[in-house]
Amino acid sequence: MIRARHRRSRRWSRRPRAGSVCALVSGGLDSAVLVGDLLRRGLDVQPLYVRAGLVWEKEEIAALRRLLRALRSRRLRPLAVIDVPMTDVYGRHWSTGGGPPPGFFTPDERVYLPGRNIALLSKAATFCALRGIPSIAIGILEGNPFPDATPEFFRALAKGVSLGLDASLRIRAPFRALSKADVIRRGRGLPLDLTLSCARPERGRHCGLCSKCRERAHAFRDAGAPDPTRYAAGPAAGGPAPAGALRASAAARARTTRVAPAKATRVR
- CATH code of residue 182: 3.40.50.620
Query: Who contacts 118 (Cβ-Cβ below 8 Å, separation ≥6)?
Result: 148, 157
Around 198, how many Cα atoms within 13 Å sit in the side-chain half-sphere? 27
pLDDT at 17: 78
Number of domains in the chain: 1
21-35, 148-162, 204-218, 230-244: range with lowest mean pLDDT:
230-244
Residue 131 lies in a domain: yes
- Are the C-beta atoms of 141 and 180 separated by less than 8 Å? yes
DSSP annotation of 41: T
* Residue range of the domain that includes 53: 20-255
pTM of the model: 0.83
pLDDT at 266: 31
Query: Who contacts 183 (Cβ-Cβ below 8 Å, separation ≥6)?
Result: 29, 30, 33, 139, 141, 175, 219
Dump pLDDT digits (tens) for 49-100. Answer: 999 999 999 999 999 999 999 998 999 999 999 999 999 999 999 999 998 9
Q: Over pLDDT 70: what percentage of the chain?
A: 83
pLDDT at 245: 46
Q: Over pLDDT 90: what percentage of the chain?
A: 74
Residue 215 lies in a domain: yes
- Are the C-beta atoms of 59 and 42 separated by less than 8 Å? no
Residue 69 lies in a domain: yes
What mean pLDDT do residues 250-267 have?
37
Q: Is the pLDDT of residue 256 over 50?
A: no
φ, ψ (nearest 5 deg) of residue 45 = -110, 125
Residue 2 lies in a domain: no
pLDDT at 96: 92
Q: How many CB atoms lie within 10 A of CB 81?
A: 13
pLDDT at 235: 78
Around 6, how many Cα atoms within 13 Å sit in the side-chain half-sphere? 2
What mean pLDDT do residues 241-265 have?
41
- b/e map 48-68, b = 16+ CB within 10 Å: bbbebbbbbbebbbebbbbbb
Greatest C-alpha distance within the chain? 91
What mean pLDDT do residues 224-235 have?
92
Residue 4 lies in a domain: no
